[in-house]
Chain A
Amino acid sequence: MSALTDLYQQLILDHNKSPRNRRKLEPADGRAEGYNPLCGDRVTVYLSLDGDIVRDIAFEGSGCAISTAAASMMTQRLKGKSVSEAKSLFEKFRRLLTDEHGVGDGGPELGKLEAFGGVRRFPARVKCATLVWHTLNAALENREDIVSTE
């Protein structure tokens, strides 16, 4: 695969074109805003929890294809999952994007999220993919401050 088609996989292009769960969620149990000062992109993540389970999750904001697809696929993947599962998926996702040694074993499988593996070859774009996950972390803690990639 060329670096180009590796980065912009069909799945990513598709989620960019028609993002899932891009809407406001009110009232929400958790809400947080993320900001990438490098490109000025903003994202808001909304959570509604049922005990430890993510009952509903949505996002608002617009960004590049990578960040939009990351938000869309994250929300799709996390609906109905437990908070601890979400956290370990984030950990795996981050390793997929940054760790030379692969993603390691154990815990939930990344599944379709592996489509973001191509981002690793583009260090300038890693934050595009991780911003929404950092923002999710803040939403889980319902933090008020704006999450920044810098």
Chain B
Amino acid sequence: MRTTAIPAQPGSAQHRPDSFDVERVRRDFPILQRTINGKPLVYLDNAATGQKPQAVIDTISRYYAAENANIHRGVHRLSVDATAAYEGARAKVQRFMGAARPEEIIFVRSATEAINLVAQAYARPTLKPGDEVLISTMEHHSNIVPWQIVCEQTGSVLRVVPINDAGEYMFEEYEQLLSSRTRLVAVTHVSNALGTINPVRRIIEVAHQRDIPVLVDGAQAAPHLAIDVKELDCDFYAISGHKMFGPSGIGALYGKYELLDDMPPYQGGGEMILSVSFEGTVYNHVPHKFEAGTPNIAGAIGLGATVDYLQQIGLDNIATYEHELLVYATEALSAVPDVRLIGTARAKAAVLSFLVGDIHPHDVGTILDLEGIAVRTGHHCAQPVMQRFGITATARASLALYNTTAEIDALVAGVGKVRKVFG
């Protein structure tokens, strides 16, 4: 199997400048030079967080070294420039997500905060006792608990779409669970624990036939797939900067303008107001209404550099390359005796959750770590998924654009070592 490049377009030269070259990509990520326990780092924990390209690191340090100022509140040059850079980053994220207008992008701390914002500022004022919010079994805890909280607050009911043995969203059950009381559907685009890519377009279409808005948790989609919120027609879409090779502490919520405009603020403070007096306070317009206080300016600007980087490589190139890696890794891991893959959806991102016989995933993770291989072990903040499969934990290798087939070979050899220790 090819390890270095995506097939060139028919009729084009073999090494077009825009073709995917994993070795070149790897040079963009300084941390990949590190060794762990004397072995080259094999970083396969990308679903937890992505590594950072030099361009993003440079953008952040340049901002702090030469451009730092508060935004939206100074007439001086630095503040004007910082404001332009911050709003420029919003426009970059808008284009990255395919949103119609920049005001539809709200900077938040993370996907978690984006979902909580929707739960508290959209769902809470809307939900009545007996209303329903519909999620799925494969959600990350951050797309479960905010809904449990708002259901508790409003007397609404949380309903859950089941998944099948392959870890796929059960669409017919979904359609049956939609009721006259359903007020919101929330679903993950890509499952962090299983890798499943959900048919979010169809999910949204069916919900919209009943005028039910849909929130898509895109934390695991943004680093791997092209996102187009207009094409999906989703009502809300949440992403996290750190998962997509950007800084931590920054994320974005996309929301349709009319919905955001109607929603009350999430938090109060500076920036989110037009005028304050004790007789009454006038809230600022969208998106500033939802960005109370001094935001993570460096983070937002760093996120702008991140989406520039991803778009320069091309999300479609990334998706094609990662799919090759997934096919290679699935075959290689399945060939190891006693390895059982959890999550075998037909549409899948490059996530391999697995068990090795009855060896506990923590032991697998520790032995792999001694080989310099970073995988996640545990429930992956998706305990209902574990319960669905009757297990408590898995080991998970989650791949990204800079991983190689050689690294997958190292993983397979590491798993062999695990089996030997526990043989």
Contacts and interface: CB of A to CB of B under 8 A. Distances in A.
Interface of A: 3-4, 7-8, 13, 38-41, 62-66, 68, 122, 124-125, 128
Given A3-B370, A39-B377, A40-B379, A65 B363 contact: yes
A122 B368 CA distance: 13
B378 A7 contact: no
A117 to B, nearest CB: 16
Contacts of A13: 421-422
Contacts of B393: 39-41
B267 to A, nearest CB: 27
Contact of A65 (B370, B383, B392, B422): B422
Contact of A125 (B366, B378, B421, B422): B366
B37 interface: yes
Given A13-B422, A39-B392, A125 B362 contact: yes
Contacts of B359: 65
B386 A40 contact: yes
Interface in B362-396: 362-363, 366-367, 370, 377-379, 383, 386, 392-393
Contacts of A3: 37, 370
B360 A4 contact: no
Interface in B59-79: none
Interface in B154-203: none
A39 B393 CA distance: 7
Nearest to A63: B360
Contacts of B37: 3
B276 to A, nearest CB: 41
A23 to B, nearest CB: 19
Contacts of B421: 4, 8, 13
B143 to A, nearest CB: 19
Given A4-B367, A8-B421, A13-B421, A40 B360 contact: no
Contacts of B370: 3-4
A128 B363 CA distance: 10
A92 to B, nearest CB: 24
A92 B383 CA distance: 34
A13 B361 CA distance: 15
A38 B378 contact: yes
A128 B383 contact: no
B367 A66 contact: no
B142 to A, nearest CB: 16
Contacts of A7: 366
A122 B360 CA distance: 16
B379 A39 contact: yes
Nearest to B391: A40
Most chain B C-beta atoms within 10 Å of own C-beta, residue among A39, A41, A62, A125: A39
A64 B37 CA distance: 22
Contacts of B378: 38-40
13 contacts: A3-B37, A8-B421, A38-B378, A39-B377, A40-B383, A40-B393, A41-B392, A62-B360, A63-B360, A64-B361, A64-B363, A122-B366, A125-B362
Nearest to B387: A40
B155 to A, nearest CB: 29
Given A65-B422, A122-B366, 14 more contacts: A4-B421, A39-B361, A40-B378, A40-B386, A40-B393, A41-B392, A62-B360, A62-B392, A63-B362, A64-B361, A65-B359, A65-B360, A124-B366, A125-B366
Nearest to A38: B378
A128 B422 contact: no
A64 B392 CA distance: 11
Contacts of A122: 366
Nearest to B423: A13
A143 B387 CA distance: 27
A50 to B, nearest CB: 34
A8 B363 CA distance: 9
A64 B379 contact: no
B406 to A, nearest CB: 22
A25 B392 CA distance: 24
Contact of A40 (B366, B392, B422): B392
B416 to A, nearest CB: 14
Contacts of A66: 362-363
A4 B368 CA distance: 10
A123 B354 CA distance: 24
Contacts of B379: 39-40
Nearest to B359: A65
User: Which 6 A-B pairs rank lowest in CB-CB distance, beginning with the nearest?
Assistant: A64-B360, A64-B362, A40-B392, A65-B363, A40-B379, A39-B378
B362 A39 contact: yes
Contacts of A4: 367, 370, 421
A4 B369 CA distance: 10
Interface in B383-423: 383, 386, 392-393, 421-422
A89 B363 CA distance: 25
Contacts of B366: 7, 122, 124-125
